[in-house]
Amino acid sequence: MFEDVRRFVIKLEQAVFCSMLHTLHQQGLLLDKARGYGFDEIISVSATAPKYRALA
């Protein structure tokens, strides 16, 4: 049972990460692989609420 839960958590983390990348791409971020994106730029463009900034 533990192994099933572990696999579920891994898949959930992957899904959340893909969803975040998709959202950032829709907002025009992380599109250019050769360009660097700073934390402040990502937070600003994505309009991340202050209460969630500590999660980054």
pLDDT tens for residues 15-36? Answer: 999 999 999 999 999 999 899 9
Break the chain into its structural domains and give their ranges.
2-53
Q: Kindly state the tokens that stand for 10.
A: 């891994």
How far is residue 52 from each of residues 10, 34, 49, 55, measured CA to CA in Å? 22, 27, 6, 6
Predicted pLDDT at 56:
62
Does the predicted TM-score (pTM) go above 0.75? no
Query: Can you tell me the distance from the alpha carbon of 10 to that of 49, in angstroms, rounded to the nearest whole number?
Result: 26
